[in-house]
Structure 1
Amino acid sequence: MTTELDLAAGTATDAPFSRVLELTELPTTTSDAGRYLGAIDKTWTIGDKVHGGTMVAATAAAGLKWLRATDPALTAMAPIAASSDFLGAPDPGEVEYEVRIRKTGRQICLADASLIQNGRTLVRTALTFGRLDDAEPRYAREHSDMPVEPPADAIGYAPGSPMGRVVHVGQGADLFIDRAWARFLEGETAEPRLRLWMRPRPGDQQDSEVAMLFAMMGADMSPPVPANLGQFGWAPTVQMVTYLRRKPAPGWLRIIATTHEVGARMFDEDQLVLDSTGAVVAQSRQLALIPQG
């Protein structure tokens, strides 16, 4: 019997996320800022608005491009942290990025970056650049209870599916949610936690830097965990911090979303991204408003 997982494995081998990261330099009136033009199409949307993690990763790509242009000796740097404030919700289409370097150093570099659409700054991000971990950790928490690959009963995000109708990212990557944890999909309530599996398309996975930024994007892939408490709808992010720890090994990424508290007005959500070897590749923590839908 052909499963949804089998179908996902045979999908297009192009590189849809690479296109998000394609940036064209724009002229500027000052030498201390870099400006780039990019495009984020409807694939990378939740509902009719651009997915937050995609905006963070694309902004990080713009910051990295300008950092390298400023000092080619910093090529080995990567965006190890991004602190993002969301001033508005961009529509899919063309966007601009403006980057200003605030500090360069041998260990750490800092930059401020903005995502702009129709003349309005919609996302403001403070970027920290450094060198990624490339050695075995001295200590790592075990997550062996989560399978490396989505099981046969995992729920996919194919177009037309309950999740795929809202989260269109499943058209640009292989994406599944754990049925055992996502009890809201069965009309039940449960602990506010969720688990997902996500894998870039082969063309995106072949480029290690694209795969790195894809993992950074994946740190914002989980639905809001209050869904398991029966609270559905848009949960506006107040502020989000994303960390990039290392380049991922090829294969599936595992995403684990948890919370410390779901309040009456706000909730926090932590997302941990593991690669196929179990190594931590990305993390995020965000403060968001309780869904009002």
Structure 2
Amino acid sequence: MEFDRHIALEGGDHEWTAELSEGWVVGGGVNGGYQLAVVGSALAQAAPGKPDPIAVSAYYLSAARPGPATVRTRVLRDGGSVATLSADLEQDGDARITVLATYGDLGALPEDVRTTATPPDLPPLQECVPNSMAPEEIRSIAPLMDRFDMRFDPRHVGWAVGQPSGNGELQAWFRLVDEREPDPVSLLMVVDALPPVTFDLGMFGWAPTLELTAHVRSHPAPGWLRVRHATRNLAGGMFEEDCEVWDSAGRLVAQSRQLARQPR
């Protein structure tokens, strides 16, 4: 599958090499969620028996570019049901992102779920707007959109025709373009896959991520995901973006919050 090829690693013993694909470029660099999935794939091999991301925090230090990269991982503590790990992704000796993470085995966690969260109220797939209809000026700065099949809620695409709602909210059905089924590592990418929520505020362009924290709650069921992004505050040239990812079984399988600069 394409996604697996694009996050593939070579090496071992806590040092890995990767080839960041040009297909994940957005704006001035490589998509942050994709970078996080590359790092997440390395961390999945750092602590035996603990392959799944549970809590992952990443700081983005400089813009990554397509091409060779090195991922170095370190086990800070491995005991009981979880391990605390760290990792850096570097290019040409410069750190691109640095990550602190908790990993474990999601399949071994208790199945008791209690939530007041409600999934996105999305129309049926056939009534939603495919990302293939995105304006050319958007597609030209975000070739990563060709990696997905996204179907946007028609109520949340006014920005595409010059009529943003001003509510700061986007939601869509989501699936990788070759129908690769979601897994915990791929969710690290999904939380940063939709266009910046600032598009719905009438602010277009690349919105570089400063910090992103993701919580992965469960192995997602096969099939389409429902993804919702929202922001409530833009100040000092920065905004927060909250994301929820729901699987085909109606479970909230991932959440994230990131702080990003407003589009340049």
- TM-score, normalized by length of structure 2? 0.90
State whether structure 2 residue 71 is matched by structure 1 residue 88.
Answer: no
State whether structure 2 residue 159 is matched by structure 1 residue 184.
Answer: yes
Any gaps of 5 or more consecutive residues in structure 2?
A: none
State whether structure 2 residue 17 is matched by structure 1 residue 37.
Answer: yes
* Shift of residue 176, structure 1, vs aligned partner: 2.9
Match of 1:113 among 66, 81, 87: 87
In 2, are the aligned partners of 1:50 and 1:90 still within 8 Å (CA)?
Answer: yes
* Shift of residue 262, structure 1, vs aligned partner: 1.8
Residue 199 of structure 1: aligned partner: 175
* Shift of residue 76, structure 1, vs aligned partner: 4.2
Aligned pairs for 1:212-291 within 5 A = 212-291=184-263
Letter in 1 for 2:74: R
Residue 75 of structure 2: aligned partner: 101
In 2, are the aligned partners of 1:159 and 1:171 still within 8 Å (CA)?
Answer: no
SS at the partner of 2:127? coil
Higher strand share: 2
* Shift of residue 63, structure 1, vs aligned partner: 1.1
* Shift of residue 142, structure 1, vs aligned partner: 2.2
Residue 11 of structure 2: aligned partner: 25
* Shift of residue 78, structure 1, vs aligned partner: 1.2
CA distance in 2, matches of 1:264, 1:76: 39
CA distance in 2, matches of 1:77, 1:259: 31
CA distance in 2, matches of 1:159, 1:228: 14
- Report Cα offsets for 1:114-143 as digits up to 9, x if no partner: 001111111101111123256251224222
Residue 127 of structure 2: aligned partner: 152
Larger mean CA deviation between 43-52 and 269-278 belongs to: 43-52
Any gaps of 5 or more consecutive residues in structure 1?
A: 1-14, 27-32, 69-74
Aligned pairs for 1:65-80 within 5 A = 65-68=45-48, 75-80=49-54
Larger mean CA deviation between 124-133 and 108-117 belongs to: 124-133
CA distance in 2, matches of 1:173, 1:222: 10
CA distance in 2, matches of 1:127, 1:76: 12
* Shift of residue 264, structure 1, vs aligned partner: 4.4
CA distance in 1, matches of 2:44, 2:122: 33
* Shift of residue 202, structure 1, vs aligned partner: 4.9
CA distance in 2, matches of 1:179, 1:164: 18
CA RMSD of aligned residues (A): 2.2
Letter in 1 for 2:15: R
CA distance in 2, matches of 1:134, 1:201: 32
In 1, are the aligned partners of 2:149 and 2:175 still within 8 Å (CA)?
Answer: yes
In 1, are the aligned partners of 2:134 and 2:160 still within 8 Å (CA)?
Answer: no
CA distance in 2, matches of 1:179, 1:134: 37
Larger mean CA deviation between 261-270 and 86-95 belongs to: 261-270
CA distance in 1, matches of 2:72, 2:148: 28
CA distance in 2, matches of 1:171, 1:256: 19
